[in-house]
Amino acid sequence: MGKPVIYITRKIPDDILQPYQDSFNFRMWAGVDVPVPRDVLLREAASADGILCLLTEKVNREVFAAANNLKIVANMAVGYDNIDVDAAREHNVVVTNTPDVLTETTADLTFALLMAAARRIVEAEKYISDDRWKHWSPYLLAGSDVHGKKIGIVGMGRIGEAVARRAKGFGMTILYHNRSRKNQTEQELGVFYTEFEELLNKADYVVSLVPMTDETKKMFDRKAFQKMKSTAIFINVSRGGVVDEGALHDALTENEIRGAGLDVFENEPIAADHPLLQMQNVVCLPHIGSASIETRTKMLKLCLDNLAAVFDGDDPITPVT
Ligand code: NAP
């Protein structure tokens, strides 16, 4: 039997693939920054034993139906809302993701975004680069304090806990909301469980770290923003789909909340003329939560190790279900 054919949906560095070359026959989309066209993905899936994909690929029923030999889809992300897991199960295809290896890096970015939105870092940098800094004045670009404030983490999972540890260092009071309480985390980190509405009511910083599911879809809607403090800053590093972006825009323009920091959007890449991009009190990033060189390399290796485990007849290391 020949080596399993693995289709990789984006160009990844040769040195990462090198240790796996003896085990697999790699085929790869040559684009570095451009996603694989749908027709190419479907054609390649037809002869693939495994797929290593990114969150830009919708791996749905159409893909599974086209892929008769497929045994595993290794998703290079911890979130897997781009994959139809039910369809995968029906086709006996294993789905894996990349938890843990990106937790600390994503928490770093979450805190950086929170700090940037709170202290108006992007506006301030633009103020200088636009040559508008002529005088110092008491309230010039004055933002919100972070230390000693209340942070409300919605989705106290791996990344939520890592953000809580950072918040502790800033002397923040930490509220969290999950579907289930985490007694051990409460004891270890001194965090307080609160119902969703109470968290919205009390937090100075509301941070979304929930996965995108049917339940979380647009959970940050008009009603949710109306419950927040008028001084609150909303941070989203989970998935754009958990937010009603129109409602967020309304809340910001009507001063129902003070600002936002967004790493993820309903439609990515966000259109250049999107109203949220026109607002000074919103810091927007192009979905770079886990984007450090070290972590992206670990994510790719974990995908490849998952592929290796499955084709060696072992259990996948990080299956999604
Ligand atoms: P995780 O460990 O699974 O944590 C998710 C948490 O959300 C869990 O504690 C879960 O607790 C809670 N949750 C799930 N459904 C909920 C609901 N309906 N209401 C309230 N809480 C709910 O996942 P993670 O590794 O921390 O990652 C979290 C998410 O971050 C990922 O799914 C991904 O979408 C996103 N992410 C984004 C980036 C980026 O680049 N921006 C990078 C990495 C991850 P219960 O089950 O008890 O509710």
Per-block mean pLDDT, blocks of 10 residues, the chain (321 long): 95 97 97 94 98 97 97 98 98 98 99 98 98 97 98 98 98 98 98 98 99 98 98 98 98 98 98 97 98 98 98 98 77
Largest CA distance in the chain: 74
**Residue 296: what pLDDT?**
98
Distance, in Å, from the CA atom of 181 to the CA atom of 152, rounded to the nearest integer, reads: 14
Residue 249 in contact with ligand 1 by CB distance below 6 A: no
Residue 158 in contact with ligand 1 by CB distance below 6 A: yes
Distance, in Å, from the CA atom of 193 to the CA atom of 173, rounded to the nearest integer, reads: 12
> What's the whole-model pTM score?
0.98
**Residue 184: what pLDDT?**
97
| Tokens 């995968």 -> residue | 88
The DSSP code sequence of 123-151 is: HHHHHHHTT------TTTT-----TT-EE
**Residue 47: what pLDDT?**
97
- Given 166, 177, 249, 287, which residue is catalytic? 287
Active site residue 181: no
Looking at the CA of residue 103, tell me the nearest atom of ligand 1.
Answer: 25
Distance, in Å, from the CA atom of 92 to the CA atom of 71, rounded to the nearest integer, reads: 7
Residue 263 in contact with ligand 1 by CB distance below 6 A: yes
Active site residue 239: yes
Burial, 288: exposed, middle or buried (Cβ in 10 Å; 0-12, 13-18, 19+)?
middle
